[in-house]
Amino acid sequence: MLEPEAHPEEAPVTIAEAAKEFLRRFQARVASGERSPRTLEHYRWALREYLLPAWGERGVESILPDDVVALSQSLRDQGRKPPTLRAVEATASRLFSFAVRRGYIQASPFAKLERGERARVRNDDRRVLSNDEARRLLEYADGLVVRTLIATLEVVP
């Protein structure tokens, strides 16, 4: 009876390697018009500024829910605001969903977070234009569609 051939264990995929493949595939979707170039830039920014410096050389499978919470807490300690935390977490969550789909890991560490462990952006954390700022923006807006969209923005009473 023949025994199965032994295969050397493959090296774990690092966060940096998974991110490179994730961005390459996302770029193709941008090129085909399925996704926005702005979203691609958003992902590149979060990866370059936060995720790769923190986890880039680590294996995808080594990142646990506690690592996600620790990174968010570290960013809070550095004075990062909730919108930044959410942007970084959203990018990481997409990257781990990609890693699950590609078979690099069985489950995303984000799937195991407890309620309230992800950053939230409260309404009072959002920047709203004052009436004067909205008027000045309208003055410089070019085109009817842009002016109409700006005119419908919520302003402070």
User: Which comes out higher in pLDDT, residue 83 or 47?
Assistant: 47
pLDDT > 70 fraction of the chain, expressed in percent and rounded = 77
CA angle at 92 for the pair 88 and 95, rounded to the nearest 5°: 145
pLDDT tens digits, residue range 68-127?
Answer: 999 999 999 999 988 899 999 999 999 999 999 999 999 999 999 888 877 776 655 556
14, 56 Cβ separation under 8 angstroms? yes
Q: Tell me, what's the pLDDT at 126? A: 59
Better pLDDT: 44 or 81: 44
Closest among 82, 53, 54, 52 to 67, alpha carbons compared? 54
Question: Whole-number mean pLDDT of the chain?
Answer: 84
Specify whether the CB–CB gap between 97 and 121 falls below 8 A: no
Predicted pLDDT of residue 2? 44
Residue 92, judged by CB atoms within 10 A of its CB (0-12, 13-18, 19+), counts as: buried
Q: How confident is the model at residue 153 (pLDDT cuts 50, 70, 90)?
A: low
| Ordered structural domains, the chain, with CATH | 15-116 (1.10.150.130), 127-157 (no CATH)
Q: How far out from the chain centre does Cα 43 lie? A: 5
- The pLDDT, as a whole number, for residue 141 is 72
Query: What sign results for the dihedral spanned by CA atoms 143, 148, 150, 151?
Result: positive
